Amino acid sequence: MKPAHQFSHEAMNTTFHIRFAGKSPDASFIARDCFEIIDYLEDRLSRYREYSDISRINLLPAGETHHINPETHQCLLRALELYQQTAGLFDITLGRRITHRKNEREGPPPEPQGQIIIHPDQPAVTCVEPGRVLDLGGIGKGFALDFLEEKLTEWEAPPMLLSAGASTHLTWGDTPWPIRLQSGPEGRVVQLKNGALSASGTEIQGSHIVHPDAGGLLVEGRVWVIADDATTADAWTTALILVPREETHDFVKGAPGIREVVREAV
């Protein structure tokens, strides 16, 4: 499908794309508003923004509480749900290990330390013991796409495909969008409709994914998750790259929101 309108925007260390299925006089206005929302979310969710909610949580001393924006609270609660659903493989509190891997530091990765409380009924986080470093790199882009979907409902927007780089996609409306999964001329193409797709692979994102267990390993290859929403798809690809290929089916069995998982070896 050749989109009638396409728009791009740099944010969250990637390029967001919005592709409209048909011509719309409001396309440029919708895209502009969507990109403003993405920037708004990045200012609150990125640990690399000095005054973001996440940066402030990471600097909390013991006993102090930080009252956060509702969007940050919603994202943290979803991250906690996905931590439980993935048996702890998706963990947003491993920022120190992520930094250790990205910077290729010598020696063993730092052991997790510290404890925080995400209050379920109010947008606030309390530090019990400092040391946990939150990093939403495995969920922030998917959450941003889902947040946009809520706005598109309010705006009664036309069908479109929203993408965070080449790794996470969300379709809006009843138009199916062809997205290629496996590489090569015979690679599989899925028709994504009213759903989300996310991918992780060691050849691209291995340096950004760490195992909660210091001795745990990434599984070589690539994994795609097709799900009802982008947050679920985004987090589960991060978790499944840590699961042995032969255990994938049993690991995701019964997981809410997941439609299909595809794995490709390298």
- Rounded Cα distance between 157 and 18, Å, is 12
Find the range with the poorest average confidence among 35-39, 108-112, 149-153.
108-112
The whole-number pLDDT of residue 208 equals: 61
**pLDDT tens for residues 219-261?**
778 899 999 999 999 999 999 999 998 999 999 999 999 999 9
- Rounded Cα distance between 50 and 56, Å, is 8
**pLDDT tens for residues 52-72?**
999 999 999 999 999 999 999
What are the boundaries of each domain within the chain?
52-129
Closest listed residue to residue 134, CA positions, set 62, 74, 187, 59: 59
What ranges in the chain are assigned the alpha helix state H? 27-45, 53-58, 70-85, 95-102, 140-155, 202-205, 230-240, 248-252
Residue 184 burial (C-beta neighbours within 10 Å; 0-12, 13-18, 19+): exposed
Is 205's pLDDT higher than 90? no
Torsion over CA: 253, 135, 202, 113 (sign):
negative
Average per-residue pLDDT for the chain: 89
The whole-number pLDDT of residue 247 equals: 93
Is 207's pLDDT higher than 60? no
